[in-house]
Amino acid sequence: MLAPDSGPFWFLVFFMLLAATGAGLLLLAMRLAPRGRGLLKEETYESGQVPPGGKRVRLAMQYFSFLLLFLVFDVVAMFLFAWGFSFFGYGQLQSAYMVLLLLFLLPPIYLTLRVARNVGV
């Protein structure tokens, strides 16, 4: 039996509260959501403005390459900054983990640069 003064007990209480809150909010949203279909509900919404053109707009692929560039290099920069900030406090094992992480991130970096070069970014 878990005692109220132990760490796993409070973790379990937190997890149960989290699950109950999530389930309650989901049920509330399902209860309050409008169910009817209509022209106003099916209309494209663009920040209160009348949308120009049709509902389906094809975007150029150059935006995809910008997104990839941002996501991949943002993740790499975030981990490199955290690693470099506390480099002297870590041992060699943590540095090996960082090098392993960078090796896992090399294929997405290569793919992103290849897509960006093909698109002309």
* pLDDT, tens digit only, all 121 positions of the chain: 567 777 788 889 999 999 999 999 999 999 998 777 777 777 777 777 777 766 666 666 667 777 777 887 888 888 888 877 777 777 777 778 778 888 888 888 888 788 778 776 6
Instruction: Check if the beta carbon of residue 111 is closer than 8 Å to that of residue 68.
Output: yes
48 Cβ contact partners less than 8 Å away, ≥ 6 residues apart:
none
Rounded to two decimals, the pTM is 0.39
In DSSP notation, 9-56 reads: HHHHHHHHHHHHHHHHHHHHHHHHS-----HHHHS--BTTBPPSS-S-
- What pLDDT does residue 1 have? 59
The two three-digit tokens of residue 18, written as one number: 């989290």
What are the distances in angstroms from CA 65 to CA 48, 111, 116, 118? 29, 10, 5, 9
Provide the residue ranges of all domains of the chain, joining segments of one domain with +: 1-34, 59-121
Q: Which amino acid is at 28?
A: L
- Distance, in Å, from the CA atom of 87 to the CA atom of 21, rounded to the nearest integer, reads 40
